[in-house]
Amino acid sequence: MAISKSNFCISMKIFLADWILLITSPKIKNGAVVIADDGRIADVGIQQDILKKYSDKNIQVAESKNTIIMPGLVNAHTHLELSMMKGVIPRGLSFSDWVFEAITKRLQFNDATISADCEKQIHALEACGTVAVGDIANHSATSMPLLEKSSLYAVVFNEVTGFSGAVAQDRFQEFVNKISDTPHRNTRQALAPHAPYSVSPELFRLIAAYNSDSRISTVHLAESKDEIAFLQTGSGSMKEMIQKIGRWDENWKAPKTTPVSYLKKLGILNSKLLIVHAVHVTDDDIELLRSQSVHICSCPRSNVQIDVGGTAPIEKYLNAGLNVCLGTDSLASNDDLNLWNEMTFFKSIHPAIPNEKIIEMATINGARVLGFDSQIGSIEKGKDAALIRVESNKPIDDPESFVLSGYDRFSAVHINECAYRVYSHTSW
Ligand SMILES: [Zn+2]
């Protein structure tokens, strides 16, 4: 275990709040969290019990009214390197047209702009109480060094593309060479095949063999009706888009099946895979996903901003016992990377899903799939104190509905700026 002492405060501290949302245990009214001098959660409980228990110790107590303490948020799907694309692509395009715009318009930005906007969004994530991201990186992996020096826990997924089967081996090797085995305190790397319309079956198989059941990975899947039609027929607007960008492979054959079933045949589905979007699936697909214990990341605002032609069946995923988390996707298809806004929107389109479940999706569920759940995502003794305090100007009766009521109603701050940066090199 490696601990960077320069990054945290040196004395134990007790934080009081009207509510403590532990996430993996029932919430506590008038609660207290004790943070040890090593930056970990030492204790949590009812205020009077905690204050009595630690009364003989000279510990600083931080009291605040109208507040909730909860774990910091986990944004499971971002593309920080696309932050310069905010507002660049018009809303309401078909999915294929949107992909064309995204591929071509990003080329107009230079490295300095990409890097500056990426860094700005990392600060924005930190400022709104995010503590971890699953981030997709492209060629230059600009986000990697910036994330390494940030406070965020991060998995940087190197996005692999290559629709021509002839280049599969070369592309695979190129991306594997990018992966560093040197562990960093809070940033890890992985491979992410982009999507069925940009990755050849040969390349998918190479990645599947490399990842096996032991490496985390992610893929954009079943996002749009264009993708569904393309895999069924091998033609349509998606094929035209691939031809337009000069990547079409005459040898590619439509699998004539669903995206989920296609990836099952290619060996990609497993319990380390995070499927992003998963909007268009059949009941058989859901059974397949359940049997392989894959994880799902929903990005509902992005799905509306690009017209994907549907809403992900989250209730069915939850009923099947799948681990579902939340992401914002990139600024090319969303207004901000603020997960509070994502939760509020999610609630508006999935009103039957309990508030507690939505907050789990934005905390522990994301931590679970990114492999950080032994450190963050819930308030438990021994975990890193990557905690935030939600502050209101009025008393809070129902903490879960309050945090879903709109980010303009509160602020979310890290409860102890220097306390939660405890980093460990756990096996992963
Ligand atoms: Zn994405």
Q: Where are the domains of the chain?
A: 5-71+379-414, 73-370
Q: Read off the pLDDT of residues 265-297 as tens digits, 9 standing for 90 and up.
A: 999 999 999 999 999 999 999 999 999 999 999
* Residues listed for the chain: 428
Which residues have a beta carbon within 5 Å of ligand 1, which is an ion? 329
Q: Read off the pLDDT of residues 183-210 as tens digits, 9 standing for 90 and up.
A: 677 899 999 999 999 999 999 999 999 9
Distance CA 293, CA 368 (A): 12
- Going from the Cα of 319 to the center of ligand 1, the distance in angstroms, rounded, reads 25
What DSSP designation does 72 have?
Answer: P
- Going from the Cα of 84 to the center of ligand 1, the distance in angstroms, rounded, reads 15
**pLDDT score for 9:** 47
How many other C-beta atoms are found inside a 10 Å radius of the C-beta of residue 332? 22
CATH topology assigned to domain 73-370: TIM Barrel (3.20.20)
Same fold, 5-71+379-414 and 73-370: no
As a whole-number percent, the residues of the chain with pLDDT over 70 amount to: 93
- Going from the Cα of 78 to the center of ligand 1, the distance in angstroms, rounded, reads 6
Q: Read off the pLDDT of residues 291-340 as tens digits, 9 standing for 90 and up.
A: 999 999 999 999 999 989 999 999 999 999 999 999 999 999 999 999 99
- Going from the Cα of 94 to the center of ligand 1, the distance in angstroms, rounded, reads 16
User: Quick check: 407 pLDDT over 70?
Assistant: yes
| Superfamily of chain region 5-71+379-414 | Urease, subunit C, domain 1 (2.30.40.10)
Distance CA 246, CA 240 (A): 10
Q: What type of residue sits at position 342?
A: E
What DSSP designation does 84 have?
Answer: G
pLDDT band with cut points at 50, 70 and 90 for residue 92: confident
Distance CA 129, CA 420 (A): 12
pTM of the complete model beyond 0.75: yes
Mean pLDDT of the region 49-65 = 91
- Going from the Cα of 301 to the center of ligand 1, the distance in angstroms, rounded, reads 12
| Residues forming beta bridges with residue 156, ordered by sequence position | 135, 189
Q: What type of residue sits at position 410?
A: F
Residue 79 and residue 135 in contact, taking contact as beta carbons nearer than 8 Å: yes
Q: Read off the pLDDT of residues 93-141 as tens digits, 9 standing for 90 and up.
A: 899 999 999 999 999 999 999 999 999 999 999 999 999 999 999 865 7
- Going from the Cα of 330 to the center of ligand 1, the distance in angstroms, rounded, reads 6
pLDDT averaged over the chain?
92
- Going from the Cα of 16 to the center of ligand 1, the distance in angstroms, rounded, reads 38
- Going from the Cα of 297 to the center of ligand 1, the distance in angstroms, rounded, reads 10
Rounded (5°) CA angle 168-174-178: 140
Distance CA 187, CA 184 (A): 5
The burial class, CB within 10 Å (0-12 / 13-18 / 19+), for 320 is middle
What backbone torsions phi and psi does residue 226 show, to the nearest 5 degrees?
A: -60, -40
pLDDT band with cut points at 50, 70 and 90 for residue 417: low
- Going from the Cα of 306 to the center of ligand 1, the distance in angstroms, rounded, reads 11
Residue 105 and residue 85 in contact, taking contact as beta carbons nearer than 8 Å: yes
**pLDDT score for 96:** 95
